[in-house]
Structure 1
Amino acid sequence: MKVGLFIPCYINQLYPQVGIATLQVLEKLNVEVIYPSGQTCCGQPMANSGYEYESVGACNNFIKNFKDFDYIVTPSGSCAYHVKNHYNIINQTDDVINVRNNIYELCDFIVNILKVKKLKAHFPHKVGIHKSCHGLRGLRLGSCSEIVGKPFSSIEDLLNEVDGIKLMELTRKDECCGFGGTFAVTEEAISVKMGKDRIQDHLDNGVEVITGTDTSCLMHLEGLINRNKQPIKVLHIAEILNNTIQ
């Protein structure tokens, strides 16, 4: 199995520890990982801002860098979803189709491709999961509260294998945090209020650490937490699986 690692631009620039943790988690699971040095942004920010067709160059560059891998893995549900569902704006060659079919968010890859049942990770903390919209409703990493059916969650399944962790039940467990890419800039007041509501839900339910699959959402929440000096930490799920704090 030949796996290409895609690290989103905001992780590369602001949260490199998440990229490092992702690599180390995959290596601990005996996956051969290659990081193509020519990779750049997947094009999602331009698409979110209404300039999707100006991202064609970024899309083609992504395909060029990742077309020869069996799988592409990224610590970002939103980026994985964007490649899977929005790369219809470029010519649908075999390479493009293969990349779109074979890109996975990290948890999705570990649970559904590697089918890992046990993890050697230790994290003795009360954890609340922020289920980002792209991962939940786009990639179907879990069941949605508005749909009647048997509940499931790839993220919870994975975290439940971490020694010492206690997953805390939230009151509104799949509500948007308000980030929404450039929505947080163009609709600042609404975005902030939504983020504050999500943080309060975690605080009300005794959460010590908020985690999730999208650093973009976690960045939004962390900024509000830091500004308001609230007693809660934020970590990407890769950092927990990699046992970065004890």
Structure 2
Amino acid sequence: MNRRLLAGCVALALLLVTAGCLGGTSTVPNDQLDAAPDEPYAWDADTDAHITVQENGQFRAVYEMNQSSVTLYRLDGFGSRTPLPVEAVRYQYTNGTVLTGSELKARGGNVTQNDRITTIGLPADANRDGKIAFTSSSTPKRFSLPTFVEGSYEVVLPPDRRVSFPIFGAVRPGGYETEVIDNHLHIRWESVTTDSVVVQFYLQRDLFIFAGIAAISILVGGAGIVYYRRQIEELRKRRQDLGLDVEKDDRN
């Protein structure tokens, strides 16, 4: 009986390990945390979350904090959490002082990662306030991320990107407003309480390319139909010239 119990415990431990429940937690390296963002973070944004999608497949995010830490992740195709990779981590105190990732750690904060989540803990003297900023990876023509904090959101797209044309563009949740500033589309929600924010977008020139391809396809298809009908008509005339019986249905 003891052997069976031991075997059961071993099997359960193996299952937990393979499921990631006992996966180890590691600290994100300082050189990754202290990397410079491609552009300055939007510290002066008046929304609880401000996300700038970049042309290089990354995004810069700034979150207003009202808790001592934030958990970052994505959902895979099976609905399981996977850690969100972060770099260029910064923390801004309410007085405007900005810390790098390594300075955040030196003041009692932390940036850790396991096989399910990435966690950013605020400095010991942060008092659950201030803002956290980081850079992470996105997907070309589609931004999707869980709502790590509730409240107002703003997503800024790269130049010439739009969302208004159906099929190519989509925004979730609804109830948003849009504004184009310096050729950047700004999408804003007064309050987001859904589980995620999704923005599918396109380059404006993609619409012209699609329209051109559609027009060519229509012309080629129309020319093919005309050619086919002419061949049928010529075949019918040849049969008549040869004195063959031609049924009325052959003309259809």
Q: Same fold (TM over 0.5)?
A: no
Task: Provide TM-score, normalisation by structure 1.
Answer: 0.26
Q: Larger % of helix: which?
A: 1
* Larger radius of gyration between Structure 1 and Structure 2: 2
